[in-house]
Chain A
Amino acid sequence: MTLRWLKPEFRKHGAAALLSNDASMGIAPPEDAPVKSPRGYWRWGERRGGGVSILIEQRAVWVNSGLIIVLMLACTAYLSLGSVILDPRDVVKALAGQGDIMTGFMVQELRLPRLVAACLTGGAFALAGILMQTLARNRLATPGIIGIDNGATAFAVASVVGMSVSLAPSAMALTGAVTAAVLTFGLAAGSGTQGYRFIVAGIGVGAVFGAITQLLLARVAIDTANAAYPWTVGSLNARSGGSVQLLGIGLALGFVAALTLARSLTVLRFSEATASGLGVNTSARRIQILLLSVALTALAVAVAGPVGMVGLIGPEIARALSTPRHVPVVAATLAGALVMVLSDLAGRTLLAPIELPVGIVTAIIGGPWLLWILMRPQRSHA
């Protein structure tokens, strides 16, 4: 027998060794060896035995802390900069309810609500993106690319252009997102959420809704078309307070749901057969992840319209910073919020007094940046 890959102990004893107990040969670790954390993790729990044990990935802690710090800095800059430039120390005072009334008004009433909307939409788009990408095992399969954003836009534009004012565009955007998602899954029926059929169906649905939007805009007066314009590119100007609150609740719940799904998500990166063999109820998990992703996108689109690229860039940044051991759900959410805050800050300040819609900024900055991330040589994880 060829035994070249076996331990020398095995080789020496030949075939007989294969059939004997490893432990009796003293090569397996003893039963009561103290537990060491796997490489790259902190472990919390008993050193021996099978009680409670929690693993915390070291890199994830550093990455998430780093992203939180950078996000805080970006938020401070966001509140400080604009048509009136404020001292960051005054901003902090104003947030605490101190300082002069003018600054307080500007920070709390004007800039803070928009900042909150930026953080929430960015986080929701990126979280929805990483969920959908993991599900489809494809880095390009974000809710934006499979037509959900376009559905929301078409419905929102239709409500601005054609229908009575009583139908709020936010509610219509939500309806449109759900309609597009239902159509995509209906058309890809039977083939699961995997594979090209699903993505192609989504692109088709997106194209149809895109065409409907164009048709609607082409057939109305220029003023009406202008009013509907923010809904076609994505902007934080047109937001309604109610939809932001709804998104806040939705993102909080969705984030917790995504965390509870994190272990399954990690395994779903393998093939369907492998994930199923490892005890993941793949069909149930797929539906849960899909619904979560669609709901988050719909809620975010209802606030800001179809802001492109955030659902791609957020997860891409998170993956570039993280190890391949897990799906970086938290980091993707934080990175999405960061991208959105910085993009809207740039849109508000770069060409002031003209304000660029945030969707245009994410497209202009995001495209080349995404290319850079994709073309960078892969980091070694050894």
Chain B
Amino acid sequence: MNDFRTAPTLATEALSMGYGARRVIDGLDVSLPSAKVTAIVGPNGCGKSTLLSGLARLHKPDVGSVLLDGKDIQRLPSRQLATQLALLPQEAVAPEGLTVTELIRFGRQPHQGWLRQWSAEDQRVVQHALLAAGLEDLADRPIDALSGGQRQRAWIAMTIAQQTPLLLLDEPTSALDLGHQIEVFELVRHLAGHGRTVVMVLHDLASACRYADHLIAMCDGKIVDQGAPDKVVTPELVRKLYQVECTLLTDPDTGSPLLANVRRAKQTVCV
């Protein structure tokens, strides 16, 4: 089932970004498949979060551009962009005392205005977001009183209520234990199943293999390889990215690659 009539395309063209004089990512050409889950993986400091912040227009590119449906996102008005693309930053913090429903209602912000503060559509979408994230029993609970996984689901529900065909998540599971990670990943799969294009930065290559349709492997500001996990992930790639030797197995249930017999490799240089 597809909830979105149009699936806008998001891509970068020769994108270079950095902080001051330091180049963090250099000349990236990336195209993100629609209605699929894309995971950006790579070692610490490889520029994967910078790429995501560029896609979300949090940072201006030094060179090149990010194209939404072929148009440079720097030229789009903020509010219009927010109806196309939702972002969940790393370790998002809500004002103290806000309840789950109140947080989710903020997702309607780009669709609202002074004379349109709460429409039937807003009510329907917020209700839907609560259900989709499995939070209906926690609707009136303050965010501070939730577990880590519940809190992350509440934030994702806020981005669901934003009703954007594109959703960017920056390490959505980094602070969560295994059970809570799986809660979040299954919600992400659910969203992609409903026609959303999801892009997430992940630390964990194993989860990326398991839950992503498309992998972008980065190292030192450049793209090493991109494509379906079972095509991209090889022992050589793992060695390049993480300086780790491993044996690859195939998950008997899903067919996705599994890392086994992981050990440290001799120093190698990526790219």
List A residues at the B interface (Cβ < 8 Å).
1-3, 5-7, 18-22, 27-29, 31-39, 41, 43, 45, 48-55, 263, 267, 269-274, 276-281, 323-325, 378-382
**Chain A residues within 8 Å of B106, by CB:** 267, 270, 278
List B residues at the A interface (Cβ < 8 Å).
1, 53, 56-58, 77-83, 85-89, 92-99, 101-102, 105-107, 109-110, 114-121, 123-124, 127-128, 131-132, 134, 136, 140-142, 145, 153, 159, 162, 179, 182-183, 186, 189-190, 193-194
Query: What is the CA–CA distance of A263 and B118 in the complex, to the nearest angstrom?
Result: 13
**Is A55 in contact with B117, judged by CB distance below 8 angstroms?**
yes
Chain A nearest CB: distance from B15 CB in Å? Answer: 18
**Is A7 in contact with B97, judged by CB distance below 8 angstroms?**
no
A2 contacts which of B81, B182, B190 (Cβ < 8 Å)? B182
**Is B1 in contact with A19, judged by CB distance below 8 angstroms?**
yes
Between A and B, how many residue pairs show CB distances below 8 Å?
151
Chain A nearest CB: distance from B132 CB in Å? Answer: 7
Chain B nearest CB: distance from A48 CB in Å? Answer: 6
**Chain A residues within 8 Å of B118, by CB:** 35, 37-38, 41, 43, 45, 53, 55
- Of all A-B residue pairs in the complex, the 4 with the closest CB atoms, nearest first, are A279-B82, A277-B87, A279-B110, A273-B89
**Chain B residues within 8 Å of A19, by CB:** 1, 193-194
**Is B124 in contact with A20, judged by CB distance below 8 angstroms?**
no
**Chain A residues within 8 Å of B153, by CB:** 5
B193: nearest residue on chain A (CB-CB)?
A19
Additional 15 contacts, C-beta under 8 A, given A39-B101, A279-B79: A2-B186, A5-B134, A5-B183, A21-B1, A29-B127, A36-B123, A41-B118, A43-B117, A50-B120, A269-B95, A273-B56, A277-B87, A278-B106, A324-B97, A382-B145
**Is A35 in contact with B117, judged by CB distance below 8 angstroms?**
no
B98: nearest residue on chain A (CB-CB)?
A324
B124 contacts which of A29, A271, A278 (Cβ < 8 Å)? A29
**Chain B residues within 8 Å of A52, by CB:** 115-116
Chain B nearest CB: distance from A329 CB in Å? Answer: 14
**Is B116 in contact with A273, judged by CB distance below 8 angstroms?**
no
**Is B58 in contact with A273, judged by CB distance below 8 angstroms?**
yes
Query: What is the CA–CA distance of A43 and B123 in the complex, to the nearest angstrom?
Result: 12
B79: nearest residue on chain A (CB-CB)?
A279
**Chain A residues within 8 Å of B127, by CB:** 28-29
**Is A50 in contact with B105, judged by CB distance below 8 angstroms?**
no
B89: nearest residue on chain A (CB-CB)?
A273
Write 11 A-B pairs (CB below 8 A) sorted by A numbering: A19-B1, A22-B131, A28-B124, A48-B120, A49-B119, A53-B115, A270-B92, A270-B93, A270-B94, A270-B106, A274-B89
**Is B105 in contact with A38, judged by CB distance below 8 angstroms?**
yes
**Chain A residues within 8 Å of B120, by CB:** 31-35, 48-50
**Chain B residues within 8 Å of A279, by CB:** 78-83, 109-110
**Is B116 in contact with A50, judged by CB distance below 8 angstroms?**
yes
**Chain A residues within 8 Å of B85, by CB:** 277
